[in-house]
Amino acid sequence: MVTFVACAHAMLDGTTPEEQRRRLEPRLLAQLPTLRALGIFDLFSVRDPALAALLADEE
């Protein structure tokens, strides 16, 4: 979960260069199966619309 939060935080930071965001995205998405299996998204919701859309596209 730490990797997911760190990647999400960096991706949402407006000062993070686009190239770095592109490198972080696969790391963030790689965490999804585990977080979903643990039920994390049943307990917590993603409030950022862009990040929520990215995660929804991966379902």
Tokens of 34: 């585990």
Mean pLDDT by 10 residues, the chain (59 residues): 95 96 96 96 94 91
For residue 44, the model assigns a pLDDT of 95
Give the chain's domain count.
Answer: 1
Supply the pTM of this predicted model. Answer: 0.85
Q: State which amino acid sits at residue 53.
A: A
Structural domain including 53 reads 2-57
Give the pLDDT of residue 53: 94
pLDDT at 59: 82
> Minimal CA–CA distance to 13: which of 29, 26, 27, 24?
24
